[in-house]
Amino acid sequence: MGGLRDQKPAMAMFALQFTYAVVALSTRAALLQGMSPRVFTVYRQAIATLVIAPIAYFSRGKSSCSMGLKSFSLIFLTSLIGVTINQNIYFEGLYLASSSMASAMGNLVPAITFVMASIVGLETINFKSIRSIAKIIGTLFCVSGAICMAILRGPKLLNSEIMPPQKSLFASGNNETWLLGCLFLFASACCWSLWLILQVPISASYPDHLSLSAWMCFLATLQSVILTLFIEPDPEAWNFNSFLEIGCCFFSGIIGSGVSFIVQAWCVSKRGPVFSAMFNPLCTVIVTILAALLLDEEIYTGSLIGAVGVILGLYIVLWGKARDNNVEEDKNEKLQIEDSEKTRYSNDLGEPLLSDKTRNVNEIDVVHC
């Protein structure tokens, strides 16, 4: 039983990556049927809000966090960048490119986050350290792989060409559509990385993570509604045309956003963020295989080579980050040992060499002598 218990985080992450793959494939299928990417974002965030908000409300303790103007401003900005803009351009890129491309581009997030964190001073670069060099090399691999996936298509490996219906704002020729979709997906990865960077000040200002997620989903719903009403004034764009669209919205909202957040948080608490991030390429593999089988998506040689480069770069970055965590843990453990030694020495110096009881016994012995 102990072995099975130890494997629960890995089993949960495998199921989570499979869930993400199903969300990507079902969303792609719904968009190909004519559903607006912006309307889909609104429905997904609204459903996610209805799932997370009650959990956050009933699970909060007596000492709940108070929200000031600074906290609300940070949450609003984080929702705008990390959810509203991120998901709108992600689903636009998913529609214009492919589900396998969208999943592979998601592996750029650790490398882009490392670059952004270095710019703002959250990460230090030491060219004499093997850890920093590994993260730099991994970032270069990720970026080079993403460029290969977007530009170097090469010979076609599987399936014939599929031209989606002209529902996107930016749809044109197929080559331009593919490249524009890749740019949208890359911009989405940058927004997600910036969202991760913003978690540092926002967690210090409002440390209730479950309530924070509920607020971000709610604000993102309002922001997405305003954006959609401005871009798509046609009321018919809000209608569901099939059960696939309805099921996709509920599945991505409840499972893809609500349940996945809880599972992800549990896995991070058990094994740490690096362990969770190591499973990201698994979603790319699942999506690529299922997309070729179920959606007849094209697979090109350049895309395959680029995906391998992105995944290889991701693991190099994660290795460097894991080494950083190990060094930090060793440093903290050494400091704890030194503090305990200092405490023990101070206690030894504070105590008399002979206790009162021992001194009394010695005095009795002297009297008897």
Q: Which residue did the predictor score with more confidence, 164 or 61?
A: 61
Residue 221: the pLDDT is: 92
Computed from CA positions of residues 54, 56, 60, 63, in that sequence, does the dihedral angle turn out positive or negative? negative
- Give the per-residue pLDDT at 126: 73
Q: Please, where are the H alpha helices in the chain? A: 2-6, 8-32, 37-59, 69-79, 86-96, 99-105, 109-120, 130-151, 174-205, 209-231, 243-251, 260-271, 273-277, 280-294, 301-350, 356-368
Pick the range with the lowest mean pLDDT from 46-50, 91-95, 113-117, 151-155: 151-155
The pLDDT of residue 218 is 92
Q: What is the pLDDT of residue 307?
A: 76
User: How many whole angstroms separate alpha carbon 181 and alpha carbon 163?
Assistant: 13
Q: What percent of the chain has pLDDT over 90?
A: 7
Most confident of 62-71, 209-218, 353-362: 209-218
Residues 120-128 have a mean pLDDT of 74
Establish if 351 belongs to a structural domain: no
What pLDDT is stored for residue 117 in this prediction? Answer: 80
pLDDT of residue 80: 92
340 in any annotated domain: no
What is the per-residue pLDDT for 30? 87
Q: Please compute the mean of the pLDDT values over residues 116-128 and round it to a whole number.
A: 76
Q: Tell me how far apart the alpha carbons of residues 95 and 102 are, in angstroms, rounded to a whole number.
A: 9
Residue 277 Cα to chain centre, angstroms: 8
Whether 357 shows a pLDDT value over 90: the answer reads: no
Question: Is 30 contained in some domain?
Answer: yes
The dihedrals phi and psi of 347, each to the nearest 5 degrees, come to: -65, -40
Contacts of 134 (CB under 8 A, 6+ apart): 316, 317, 319, 320, 323
Domain count of the fold of the chain: 1
Q: How do residues 229-287 score in pLDDT, each as one tens digit?
A: 888 878 888 888 888 888 888 988 888 877 777 777 677 667 666 566 667 777 777 88
Residue labelled with tokens 């050494």? 334
Q: Tell whether 328 is covered by a domain.
A: no
> How many other C-beta atoms lie within 10 A of the C-beta of residue 279?
17
Q: What is the average pLDDT score of the chain?
A: 75
Domain membership flag for residue 295? yes
For every residue of 97-108, DSSP letters joined together read S-HHHHHHHGGG
Domain region containing 160 = 2-60+67-317
Cα R_g (the chain), whole angstroms: 27
Q: How far apart are CA 251 and CA 105, in angstroms?
A: 22
pLDDT at 289: 78
For residue 356, pLDDT beyond 60: no
Which pLDDT score, from 0 to 100, does residue 327 have? Answer: 62
Residue 225, pLDDT above cutoff 90: yes
pLDDT beyond 60 at 178? yes
d(CA 275, CA 364): 66
Q: Please give the residue that has the higher pLDDT: either 155 or 344.
A: 155
| More confidently predicted of 86 and 326 | 86
Confidence bin at 219 (pLDDT 50/70/90): very high
pLDDT grade for 365, boundaries at 50, 70 and 90: very low
Q: Does 348 map to a domain?
A: no
**Cα distances (Å, whole numbers) of residue 96 to 93, 106, 127, 170:** 5, 16, 39, 8
Q: Specify if 353 maps to a domain.
A: no
Q: Which of 122, 245, 264, 107 is nearest to 186 (CA)?
A: 107
CB atoms within 10 A of CB 179: 16
Kindly report which listed range (94-98, 275-279, 327-331) carries the lowest average pLDDT score: 327-331
Mean pLDDT of 72-93: 89
CA–CA separation, 121 vs 110, rounded Å?
A: 16
- pLDDT digit string, tens, across residues 147-167: 777 666 666 665 544 444 444
Does the residue 361 lie in any domain?
A: no
Q: Which residues contact 122 (CB under 8 A, 6 or more apart)?
A: 197, 200
Length of the chain measured in residues:
369
Question: In a 3-state reduction of DSSP, which class is residue 307?
Answer: helix
Mean pLDDT across the stretch 342-353? 55
Report how far apart the first and last C-alpha atoms of the chain are (Å, whole number): 67
Name the strand (E) or helix (H) holding 158: strand 156-158
Q: How confident is the model at residue 207 (pLDDT cuts 50, 70, 90)?
A: confident
CA atoms within 13 A on the CB side of 246: 5
Residue 323 token pair? 């080494």
Instruction: Give the per-residue pLDDT at 156.
Output: 65
Cβ atoms of residues 81 and 194 within 8 Å: yes
